[in-house]
């Protein structure tokens, strides 16, 4: 029992001494690290993440004396009962009652204004297309005159609302400032050319109906509201992702409208000469509009096969039709060519670059395997990005706009990188502008073992594999989108670090590359983030330099772990007790330590 109690107390003392030695060694290492590198700070002294730094969002604090905000209903719930079921509905009537028309409208970005221009253009098209038809063809009769007048005056109401409600609320730029004052906007519209044309469009020539009858030609001034049509085209093309489709439709509409006007003129000429009076005029059989439109198509496109005109009037009319047809058709073809050319400009540039590269490779007799990889890179880059170089697209934009686009495109990926957690947010923004996007083909080497590392890689899309082992072909790890590698070489204080493994692309991979030179230029302005990144780099180097066995993995743990070295001060005390005759508690501890060393051996 005495021996067991002595052994138990010796074990307790031994454990306590081991803990003290461990604590002393950790503190010594920290002090030594501070002395060798003053930039390194302790965990307690690391810079706290300010609101402008990357930090996890704080949890919402519930209001005092109440339930959390997340548990509160967003608003009053409205229900309606139908067929024994309860359905939730939106109080659209309340929204409609509480709606307030804006005092000023931005004509460049307001979608409501674009929608209103659509209705104005529809009213303008009604007048442009149907006034010639009602004038030439006998489609307007006393039986249906009220329907035509109803739609006419509805279009006039749209014109009037456009003048009184919308045009007087449009913002404008004066001296670099956006003017939103109601009086200034109204005066700006009244002084513009647009107001004069709008007033001419609404000339009340309809009062002449009481004298000459309902003649559609008296509504011809309504067709002068062409400025709204061109403004609608500009606003619509600005918000469409494929504006060239609308341009093709608009150019086709121009051609159809010219044929429409020509068909109306032909029927008027036939009625002037007398329907069926000669072989050249319309004979009055079948659908009059379709027959006249067919004649207009053959005339304007100069297909031929038309009957020869007989009278002087018919000859002059036909000559004017031919000249107008050739002129109008050539303009339409040229405009269509410009529209299609603008739509395929990127594809044309891609084909020219690819053809030049293939010509260059054939001239220098590059191997076919290399040529095929180059062609594959061109094809994948074009189809995945829609362009070959993203920087060419943004070079014309101001620096602030380039930053806004870079934040929307790349910030979600870069902010998730653990290396940059805690860094200044503005430093991340500056870094986004320096990133270069590069596409790698399957089995392309991103970096090779032994190369000098001068850049860091962030995976935007795809996967890469880290290879190692004796043959250098064993897949150690597969990195996916959002992962980062190469940061040790980028942040090493000594510089010129060599790559420690081969990294290849597993399939098509799109990577962001950050050069060491660019990062150093950025960190000069952010000393706190520079200290934090240096500390993380040293920790990563320290973890990578841990001893490993021959296979590259940590060795198996020992059954009895090795004991920490005895402090020198304690060894001196034990030596002194040995010279004093080997008595006392220190002598017993010395004997116990020797016993432990023998057991470990």
Q: Which residue has the higher pLDDT, 111 or 492?
A: 111
286 pLDDT band, cuts 50/70/90, is confident
Element of type H or E holding 478: strand 474-479
The average pLDDT across 562-571 equals 61
Distances (CA, A) of 439 to 112, 164, 374, 510: 41, 55, 12, 5
Q: Over 70: is that where the pLDDT of 75 sits?
A: no
* pTM score: 0.62
Q: Over 60: is that where the pLDDT of 562 sits?
A: no
Q: Over 70: is that where the pLDDT of 481 sits?
A: yes
Residues 6+ away with beta carbon under 8 Å from 91 = 78
Q: Which residue has the higher pLDDT, 61 or 427?
A: 427
Q: Over 70: is that where the pLDDT of 45 sits?
A: no
For 488, the token pair is: 């040790």
CATH 3.40.250.10 fits 416-545, yes or no: no
pLDDT the model gives residue 499: 80
pLDDT the model gives residue 459: 87
Name the β-bridge partners of 349: none
- pLDDT (tens digit per residue) in 156-166: 999 999 999 99
Q: Measuring CA to CA, which residue among 52, 15, 26 is closest to residue 529?
A: 52
Distances (CA, A) of 475 to 111, 459, 471, 479, 540: 53, 18, 11, 11, 21
- Of the chain, the percentage scoring pLDDT greater than 90 comes to 29
pLDDT the model gives residue 64: 44
The label of the residue with tokens 């934090």 reads 532
pLDDT the model gives residue 570: 62
Q: Over 80: is that where the pLDDT of 551 sits?
A: no
Q: Over 90: is that where the pLDDT of 346 sits?
A: no
> 10 Å Cβ neighbour count for 320?
11
Residue pair 233/250 in contact by the 8 Å Cβ criterion: yes
Residue pair 20/387 in contact by the 8 Å Cβ criterion: no
- pLDDT (tens digit per residue) in 452-474: 888 888 888 889 999 988 887 88
CATH 1.10.287 residue ranges for the chain: 260-388
pLDDT the model gives residue 519: 85
Q: Which residue has the higher pLDDT, 259 or 552?
A: 259
pLDDT the model gives residue 121: 96
pLDDT the model gives residue 347: 82
Residue pair 483/505 in contact by the 8 Å Cβ criterion: no
DSSP states of 127-141: HHHHHHHHHHSTT--
- pLDDT (tens digit per residue) in 252-274: 999 999 999 999 999 999 999 89
The average pLDDT across 481-487 equals 80
pLDDT the model gives residue 359: 92
pLDDT the model gives residue 47: 42
pLDDT the model gives residue 33: 67
pLDDT the model gives residue 379: 87
580 pLDDT band, cuts 50/70/90, is low
542 pLDDT band, cuts 50/70/90, is confident
pLDDT the model gives residue 427: 86
486 pLDDT band, cuts 50/70/90, is confident
- pLDDT (tens digit per residue) in 489-529: 776 655 546 787 889 998 889 888 888 888 888 888 888 88
Q: Over 50: is that where the pLDDT of 353 sits?
A: yes
Name the β-bridge partners of 82: 85
pLDDT the model gives residue 587: 65
pLDDT the model gives residue 145: 93
Angstrom distance (rounded) from CA 61 to CA 69: 8
pLDDT the model gives residue 46: 41
CATH 2.60.120.10 residue ranges for the chain: 416-545
Q: What is the three-state SS of 323-373?
A: HHHHHHHHHHHHHHHHHHHHHCHHHHHHHHHHHHHHHHHHHCCCCHHHHHH
Least confident segment among 145-149, 262-266, 419-423, 592-596: 592-596
pLDDT the model gives residue 265: 94
- pLDDT (tens digit per residue) in 374-424: 898 888 888 877 777 766 666 777 878 878 887 887 777 777 777 777 888
Least confident segment among 165-174, 279-288, 567-576: 567-576
Across all residues in the chain, what is the average pLDDT? 79
- pLDDT (tens digit per residue) in 4-44: 556 667 778 888 888 888 888 888 877 776 665 555 444 44
Q: Over 80: is that where the pLDDT of 186 sits?
A: yes
pLDDT the model gives residue 217: 92
Q: Measuring CA to CA, which residue among 164, 214, 213, 211 is closest to residue 189?
A: 164
Angstrom distance (rounded) from CA 34 to CA 513: 33
Its CATH architecture, for the domain 260-388, is Orthogonal Bundle (1.10)
Q: Which residue has the higher pLDDT, 120 or 510?
A: 120
205 pLDDT band, cuts 50/70/90, is very high
Least confident segment among 79-83, 135-139, 308-312: 79-83
Q: Which residue has the higher pLDDT, 191 or 306?
A: 191
pLDDT the model gives residue 71: 44
């Amino acid at each position: 029992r005495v021996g067991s109690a002595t052994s138990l107390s010796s074990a307790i003392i031994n454990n306590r001494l081991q803990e003290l030695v461990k604590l002393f060694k950790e503190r010594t290492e920290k002090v030594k690290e501070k002395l060798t590198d003053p930039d390194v700070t302790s965990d307690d002294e690391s810079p706290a993440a300010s609101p402008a730094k990357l930090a996890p969002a704080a949890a919402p604090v519930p209001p005092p004396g109440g339930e959390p905000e997340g548990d509160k209903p967003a608003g009053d719930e409205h229900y309606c009962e139908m067929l024994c079921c309860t359905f939730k509905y939106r109080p659209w009537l309340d929204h409609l009652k509480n709606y307030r028309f804006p005092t000023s409208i931005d004509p460049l970005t307001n979608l409501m204004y674009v929608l209103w221009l659509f209705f104005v253009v529809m009213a303008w098209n009604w007048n442009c297309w149907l006034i010639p038809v009602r004038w030439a063809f006998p489609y307007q009769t006393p039986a249906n005159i009220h329907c035509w007048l109803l739609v006419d005056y509805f279009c006039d109401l749209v014109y009037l609302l456009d003048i009184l409600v919308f045009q007087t609320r449009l913002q404008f730029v004066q001296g670099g400032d956006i003017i939103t004052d109601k009086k200034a906007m109204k005066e700006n519209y009244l002084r513009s050319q647009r107001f004069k044309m709008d007033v001419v469009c609404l000339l009340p020539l309809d009062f002449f109906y009481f004298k000459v009858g309902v003649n559609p030609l008296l509504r011809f001034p309504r067709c002068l509201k062409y400025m709204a049509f061109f403004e609608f085209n500009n606003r619509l093309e600005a918000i469409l992702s494929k504006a060239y489709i609308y341009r093709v439709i608009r150019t086709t509409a121009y051609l159809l409208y010219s044929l429409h006007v020509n068909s109306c003129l032909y029927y008027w000429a036939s009625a002037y000469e007398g329907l069926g009076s000669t072989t050249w005029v319309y004979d009055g059989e079948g659908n009059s509009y379709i027959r006249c439109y067919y004649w207009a198509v053959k005339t304007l496109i100069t297909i031929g096969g038309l009957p020869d005109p007989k009278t002087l009037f018919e000859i002059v009319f036909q000559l004017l039709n031919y000249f107008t047809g050739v002129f109008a058709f050539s303009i339409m073809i040229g405009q269509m060519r410009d529209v299609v050319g603008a739509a395929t400009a990127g594809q044309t540039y891609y084909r020219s670059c690819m053809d030049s590269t293939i010509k260059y490779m054939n001239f220098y007799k590059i191997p076919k395997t290399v040529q095929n990889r180059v062609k594959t890179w061109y094809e994948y880059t074009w189809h995945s990005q829609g362009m070959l170089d993203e920087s060419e697209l943004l070079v014309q934009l101001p620096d602030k706009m380039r930053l806004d686009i870079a934040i929307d495109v790349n910030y979600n990926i870069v902010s998730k990188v653990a290396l940059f957690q805690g860094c200044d947010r503005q430093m991340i923004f500056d870094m986004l502008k320096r990133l270069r996007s590069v596409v790698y083909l399957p089995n392309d080497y991103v970096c090779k073992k032994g190369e000098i590392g001068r850049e860091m890689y962030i995976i935007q899309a795809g996967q890469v594999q880290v290879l190692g082992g004796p043959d250098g072909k064993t897949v150690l790890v597969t990195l996916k989108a959002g992962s980062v590698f190469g940061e040790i070489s980028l942040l090493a204080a000594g510089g010129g670090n060599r790559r420690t493994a081969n990294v290849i692309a597993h399939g098509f991979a799109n990577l962001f590359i950050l050069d060491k030179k660019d990062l150093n230029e950025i960190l000069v302005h952010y000393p706190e983030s520079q200290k934090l990144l240096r500390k993380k780099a040293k920790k990563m180097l320290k973890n990578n330099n841990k001893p490993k066995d021959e296979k590259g993995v940590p060795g198996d743990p020992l059954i009895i772990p090795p004991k920490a070295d005895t402090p020198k001060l304690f060894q001196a005390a034990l030596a002194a007790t040995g010279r004093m005759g080997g008595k006392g508690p220190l002598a017993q501890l010395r004997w116990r330590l020797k016993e432990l060393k023998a057991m470990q051996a």
